[in-house]
């Protein structure tokens, strides 16, 4: 009888660990997805800043030409 209870308890324990492992897998996947999105957003942000910097450089060149002109 005691063995049956211990075996049942072990089975429940193993099932619990399987559930925990599945939850961790979902959490890990969510983190990976979130980091991918954040990284992509940063890349887009950097590209945008490069475009803005180039535009300001062109504006500065135009001002210099007008001042010299």
3 state SS for 20-46: HHHHHHHHHHHHHHHHHHHHHHHHHHH
- Establish how many alpha carbons lie within 13 A of residue 32's alpha carbon, considering only the half-sphere containing its beta carbon: 6
Q: What pLDDT does 3 receive?
A: 87
Mean pLDDT by 10 residues, the chain (69 residues): 88 96 98 97 98 96 91
C-alpha pair distances (Å), 52 with each of 11, 39, 55, 56, 57: 61, 20, 5, 6, 9
DSSP code for 62: H
């Amino acid at each position: 009888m005691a063995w049956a209870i211990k075996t049942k308890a072990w089975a429940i324990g193993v099932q619990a660990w399987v559930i925990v492992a599945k939850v961790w897998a979902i959490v890990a996947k969510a983190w990976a997805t979130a980091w991918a999105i954040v990284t992509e957003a940063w890349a887009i942000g950097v590209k945008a800043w490069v475009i803005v910097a180039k535009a300001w450089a062109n504006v500065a060149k135009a001002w210099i030409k007008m001042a010299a002109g």
